[in-house]
Structure 1
Amino acid sequence: MMGHTDDRGQLILAGAVVFSLVLIGIVVVFSTTLFTANMASSSANAGVSDAGALESDVERTVLEYADRVNDDEYDVDDFEDDIEDEYPELLAERYAESGPTIADVSIDAETDEDENEIESATVTVVYETRSATIDREIELEDLN
């Protein structure tokens, strides 16, 4: 009788080990699926969030610089050189360094008749990553 009881214990132990391995396998597959789905959606959301931050930064920078030009702290020609030419290049370089991201900004400013003050500006922001492409146009009016 003793030999028969020992065999039953080994059988129960082997069954418990197999059951636990199957359970661990199911948990690993389920966890991997959830993680993959979460990462896929979060990268797209991050792209949209970064594009919104870029848009806000560009709008704030153009408004601040236009205010300085209109307060006679800077010349309109400096605005055209700095904001319309150099600023988009600096932004593109900054975003390219952070990863596979394209940030393109074009700024077209309208001046008054005397070309002393900036009246309005049209800002086009293009933000492109692997997961998202966002193209927006911002109209900034009544800057003087």
Structure 2
Amino acid sequence: MVADERSRGQVILIGAITLAFIILGIVVVFNGVLYTETLSSGPSSQSATDATVTELEIEQGVACVLERGDKDLTGNITAFNTAYRNATAESTATAVNISVDDADPDLSSTNITITYDSNGLSYEQERMIEADDCLTEGP
């Protein structure tokens, strides 16, 4: 009779350890699923940063086009728009369009419209760009 009770205790102990491992495995899998879900929703905060960088790049580029002082401002900004799209097409999933609204006759400033469209963010913004915003000297 004593031998039977001892073997019964070992079976209960093995069952409890097995149940503990099963619960631990479920917790690890559930934690992994939550971590993956958190990572998949993360890039939405990155799109605002990308939009800011894009705006600064466009402002700098258009200002340098103004600094050069070529009379065909609309054509040059259109060429810059095409070059900017080609340069960023491989690295970002963003569509950017730059259009000239109003150009100052002495080429010191211009109003442009920036249309930004990505998965997480879309907007249209008008900006006043001045030739003095160019960080490099033109010819």
- Given the two structures, how large is their TM-score scaled by the length of structure 2? 0.76
| 3-state SS of paired residue (1:130) | coil
Aligned partners of 2:101 and 2:111 also within 8 Å: yes
Higher RCO (CA < 8 A, seq sep 6+): 2
TM superposition shift of 1:99: 4.8
TM superposition shift of 1:88: 1.1
TM superposition shift of 1:26: 2.5
CA gap of 1:132–1:93, structure 2 versus 1, over 3 A, is same
Moved more, 119-128 or 2-11: 2-11
Aligned partners of 1:122 and 1:138 also within 8 Å: yes
Aligned partners of 2:116 and 2:122 also within 8 Å: yes
- Given the two structures, how large is their TM-score scaled by the length of structure 1? 0.74
CA gap of 1:97–1:37, structure 2 versus 1, over 3 A, is same
Indicate the residue corresponding to 1:119 in structure 2.
108
Following the alignment from structure 1 to structure 2, what is the Cα–Cα distance between the partners of residues 103 and 67? 22
Aligned partners of 1:51 and 1:134 also within 8 Å: no
Following the alignment from structure 1 to structure 2, what is the Cα–Cα distance between the partners of residues 107 and 22? 63
Unaligned runs of 5+ in 2: 133-139
Unaligned runs of 5+ in 1: 70-74
Following the alignment from structure 1 to structure 2, what is the Cα–Cα distance between the partners of residues 103 and 10? 68
**Root-mean-square deviation over aligned CA pairs:** 2.4
User: Structure 1 stretches (4+) deviating beyond 6 angstroms?
Assistant: none
Q: When the two structures are aligned, how many residues end up with a matched partner?
A: 131
Deviations 1:17-70 (A, max 9, x none): 222222321332234224313431x2111111111100000001111222232x
AA in 1 matched with 2:90: E
